[in-house]
Amino acid sequence: MRSVALGPAPSFDAVPNFRDAGGLPTVDGGRVRTGVLYRSGHLAGASPADLERLSGIGVRVIVDLRRDGDIAVEGENRVPDGARIVRIPIGDVDSTLGVDVRSLFAAGDVDAIHRAFPPGAAHAMMMRGARVGVEDELFRMRYASALRAVVEADGVPTLVNCSAGKDRTGWTVALVLLAVGVDREDVVAEYLRSNDAARPEPPRAAAVPVGLDRSRLEPLFGVRAEYIENAFAAAEEGWGSMDAFLEQGAGLRDTDRQRLRDALVDPAAP
C-alpha cells in the first residue's frame, strides 16, 4: 500500500470518526483537495466548540444517511449556522438482515443477544450487509442519491455522516473517491481509517450487558478490508467493472464525474 498524504483528522469533543477525505492521489496525477469532502459519525452530541470548528472549516452541506430510528435514539444532527442537512435514509447493516442490534442492547438481554449472534453471525452480517448496498435496488438508489448530493454541492464543503461514520458513510465516500479517479488500494486504505477512531464497544449501545461474549460481536465494532472488497465484488459481478457500476448502478453520468472532479481534484501540474 502506497504512503499517501491523507487529510487531517481534527479533534472534536463529541463528533465521532471525523476526518477529511481529501489528500489522496488520483491515477492521472491529480490529488483530491482537502477541505472539501468530510466524513463522520452523527453530530447529535456536537458541542458548541464542535459547531464552531465545523463552521471554521466551512461545512455548509451535511448529507445525513441515518434512518428515522437512528435519529430517534441519537437525536438530530446539530449543525453550524448557515449549514443545510440533506436527509437520505439508508438502512444500516443490521437492518439488511432483520436484526435490530439497537433494541437488543437496549433490552440488555444477554441470552437474546447470544441467540441472535451465534459464533460467526456478526461477521456474516457485515459481509452480507456490504453486498446489499450494491445488490438491493432500494439501497443502491439511496446511495445514488447520496452521490448526487455530493455532486450538486459543487465543491461547497460537504460532510457525509451516518451513525458511526464507518459503514454507510464509508461506502458513499469510497464511491465518490473512485468516481474522481483514486486508486482502489488507496480507497480501501481511507476506508480502514475508521478503525483508528472506532470505539471498542457494541454499536449504538451505552453499556455492555454483564455476561456478554464480546468476541461474537467484534466484527461489528470496526471495518475490515474484506467488507468493502465484498461490495466491490458484488458490483463487478453485477455490472462487470466499478466504472460500469458507477454509471449504470449508481447513475453517475460522465458529466457528473467530471463535475465531481472539477469540485474535488487538483489536477496534475503541467
The pLDDT of residue 221 is 85
Give the pLDDT score at 116: 82
Q: How far is CA 268 from the centre of its chain?
A: 28
The full set of domain ranges for the chain reads 19-265
Q: Is 135 exposed, middle or buried (0-12, 13-18, 19+ CB in 10 A)?
A: middle
CB atoms within 10 A of CB 141: 15
- For residues 64 and 227, give the distance between their C-alpha atoms in angstroms, rounded to a whole number: 22
Joined together, the cell numbers standing for residue 24 give 489522496
Provide CB contacts within 8 A for 53, sequence distance 6+. Answer: 10, 12
Q: How far apart are CA 165 and CA 169, in angstroms?
A: 5
Q: Mind telling me the catalytic residues? A: 162
- The reported pLDDT for the residue numbered 107 is 73
Strand duo 158-161 + 265-266: pairing: unpaired
- What's the topology of domain 19-265? Protein-Tyrosine Phosphatase; Chain A (3.90.190)
- Per-residue pLDDT at 1: 43
The tens-digit pLDDT sequence of the chain (270 residues) is 444 556 556 789 999 999 999 999 999 999 999 999 999 999 999 999 999 999 999 999 999 999 998 898 889 999 999 999 999 999 876 655 566 676 777 777 788 888 888 889 889 989 999 999 999 999 999 999 999 999 999 999 999 999 999 999 999 999 999 999 999 999 999 999 999 875 545 544 445 667 778 788 889 889 999 999 999 999 999 999 999 999 999 999 999 999 999 999 999 867
Give the type of residue at 208. Answer: V
Ranges of H-type helices in 120-253 = 121-135, 137-153, 168-179, 184-192, 194-197, 218-221, 225-239, 242-244
Q: In whole angstroms, what is the distance from residue 198 CA to residue 31 CA? A: 27
